[in-house]
Structures are given as structure tokens and as C-alpha cells.
Structure 1
Amino acid sequence: MSDEIDIDIDALTKRMDGALTSLRGDFASLRTGRASASMLDVVQVDAYGAMTPINQVATINVPEPRMVTVNVWDKSLVGAVDKAIRNAGIGINPVMDGTTLRLPIPELNEERRRDLAKVAGTYAENARVAVRNVRRDGMDQIKKGKANGMPEDDQKVYSDEIEDITKSHIAKIDAALESKQEEIMQV
């Protein structure tokens, strides 16, 4: 028998947690008809010759449920921020008010809500695939352990543990998707 083979369950769990965290970030960027500062996370501004995240050139606030305000710090960047928001593909047209941009969030129609629910489903499926890939990596580690003389009992214990954390993470993804789709479809 060779050296003791050990499968790092904690590392696999952290990778699955990463897929769940990424999914929550994707869900936060989906516009649900309510104002959210995170909906501008995708916006990159051409500032000082480099593409810069909007939160590094302005303060983003949500004063009302259907309004986001962007207070640009440098007066010379107001036009660039306005252009970046318009070109980001989030469907919002800013209204300039000095160095402040007001972003009224329009009501979503039924068709757009269904489309957003489908997009949320796609994000969830991508997260499920990521979790399954981590499971596959763990099972591959078990196969390598088997080739190196890992006892069958240990193989079974690790295999069961990997399956349990996989099922747990898939259930969390499904719950997050259901919650997001409810939020999207809420009028």
C-alpha cells in the first residue's frame, strides 16, 4: 500500500460555494423592476484612458424603489458615465442633472419578466454545471486513490460525502432560482 491518500472535501466544498456565490452575483445584476445599485456593476466607464468600473468614478445611491442616482466625482466624466450607462445594455436611459445622473427604472412588462426568468434559469443551470464539474473532479480524485491503493471503505465514505455536498449545493441553487424567479414575476 502506498502513502495515505486523502481527498480534500473542504476544497471541493469551497469550489461549490464559489459557484453559488457567482450565481448570487449574476442574480443581483438582473433587473427586476426595482432599483438596485448592483444593476450597474456591469458598467465600465472610459475614464482617464482606461476602462474603469462605475463605482470607482461615482457614488451610486437608491433613494426610491424606482430610482438610482449616480453622483459623478469628476465633472469632466459626466458625459462618459452617461454614455457608458446607455451602452451597457441594461435598458436604462439616464437623466443628467449637473454631476448627478438620475436613472428612472421603468416597470417591466409581462414578456420581459418571462425573458428575465429564463435568463435566471440559464444562470442557475450554469451554476449546477459548475457544481457537477467539482463533483466530477472529486470522483476523479477517488479513482486515483483507488489506483494507489485506497481502501474500498474510504472510497465509499468520500464518494457519499461528495454526493451529499453536491446535492446540498444543487438544492441551494434551486432555492435561489425559485426565489429570484418569484421576485422577477412579482408585479
Structure 2
Amino acid sequence: MSESNISELLPQLKAHMAKAEEAMRHDFAAVRTGKASPALVEGILVDYYGAPTRLRDLANISAPEARLLTIQPYDISAVHAIEKAIIASNLGIMPNSDGKILRLPIPELSEERRIALVKQVKQRAEEGKVAIRNLRRDANDSAKKAQKGGELTEDELKKLLDDIQKLTDRSIEDIDKSVASKEKELMSI
């Protein structure tokens, strides 16, 4: 590892941690809260002429009302395949089709379902934290190798490891805030 790689270690680590947090938040958007959000269905894979295709690539998804999603396929012949994929997705939402547009009424969540969704969110958050910790471990290893290679002094290594830990703590704190916000959103009626 060269001097320039060491100087890029923290910015790269910060970028990777931000990507891990963003992926987790995107997954949170797909968790149903009783409000219509296109993110609920956009990642569903539809068998479109034998190829698994994301719903967002096959149709226009919108939320014209707070408790309704509409899905208008670009190819009307895909309506049945989309309907089948939504039913198979275990969202707990039955689509209504008029042959051209699918409507998904979003029902109220039961208390039991809300608690299950909170557990799902916390599980995903824990996966995000593990990803952040793995990034920290890799950055620490790179810093220690650079120190052994003579590119860093002992003091520089200590400061770099402290900075890596601060970035890790900040990312985990951000994840905890996101979880608390999503939990509050899920548990509010």
C-alpha cells in the first residue's frame, strides 16, 4: 500500500459505510407501514417472457392516494404475470386488476404484524451494523499493514485507527437513528 492509498483510506471507508447505510435505508423503504409507497413493490421479480425482471422495469408504479398503489404495465400482456408475482411475494396485499392497471389497496396493519415488521427492520439493521464492522476491520488491517511496511509511524497508526473507530461509531449511530425512526413509523396508528 502506498502513501496515496493510506491518504485515501478514510474517504474510501466513509463512502463505503455511507453505501451500506443507504442500502439498509432502501430496504427499510420496502417495509410496509400502512402507507402506499412504490418501494413496497418495485423490487418484486416478475417472470417476464421467461426472464426474472424487476417490477419497476416493467411498469409505472404510483401512489395516487395514501392507501393505494397503482401499477400500469408498459406491456399490457404482462398484467397477469405481475399480478401473479405480487401474490407470490407475501406482501399480504391482493391486487385488483381491470386488465390494464393493477390497483393495490394497502390495508391497515394489525398490532401483531407491526411487531413482526419491527423485528424485520431490527434484523436488517443488525446486518447493516455487521457490514459496517467488517469495513472497519478491513480498514484497520490495511492501516496495520501500512505501519508494518514503514509507511506510517506508530503515532500515525494510532490516530488513523481512532479516526476509523469514530467513523464506525458515527455510522452505527446513524443506523440506530434510522431504526428508531422506522420503528416509530411502524408502531404509529
TM over 0.5: yes
With normalisation by structure 2, the TM-score equals: 0.93
CA contact (8 A) 1:42 1:88 kept: no
Point out 4+ residue stretches in structure 1 off by more than 3 angstroms.
Answer: 2-5
Could you say which residue in structure 2 is the equivalent of 1:37?
38
Helix, strand or coil for the counterpart of 1:32? coil
Q: Which is bigger in relative contact order (C-alpha 8 A, separation at least 6)?
A: 1
Tell me, what secondary structure is at the counterpart of 2:175? helix
2:117 is paired with a residue whose SS is helix
SS in 2 for 1:6: helix
> What is residue 141 of structure 2 aligned with on the other side?
140
Tell me if structure 2 keeps the 8 A contact 1:71–1:101: yes
Alignment pair present for 1:160 and 2:146: no
Gaps of 5+ in 2: none
| Offset, 1:18 | 1.1
1:37-77 CA distance string (max 9 Å, x none): 00002311111231111112211110111110111222211
Map residues 4-153 of structure 1 onto 2, 5 A cutoff.
4=3, 6=6, 8-149=9-150, 150-153=152-155
Answer with 147-156 or 126-135: which moved more.
Answer: 147-156
Structure-1 separation of matches of 2:22 and 2:2: 35
- Structure 1 SS opposite 2:6: coil
Matched residue type, 2:93: I
How far off is 1:108 after superposition?
0.3
**Are 1:175 and 2:177 an aligned pair?**
yes
Q: Could you state the TM-score of these two structures normalised by the residue count of structure 1?
A: 0.94
- Aligned-pair CA distance for 1:102: 0.7
Instruction: Note the aligned Cα RMSD (angstroms).
Output: 1.5
Query: Secondary structure in 2 aligned to 1:63?
Result: strand
Percent identity, aligned pairs only, is 41
- Cα distance in 2 for partners of 1:75, 1:27 equals 30
Verify the 8 A CA contact 1:131 1:170 in the aligned structure 2.
yes
Structure 2 Cα separation of the partners of residues 101 and 29 of structure 1: 18
Residues 73, 99 of structure 1: 8 Å contact kept: no
> Structure 1: any 5+ residue segments left out of the alignment?
none
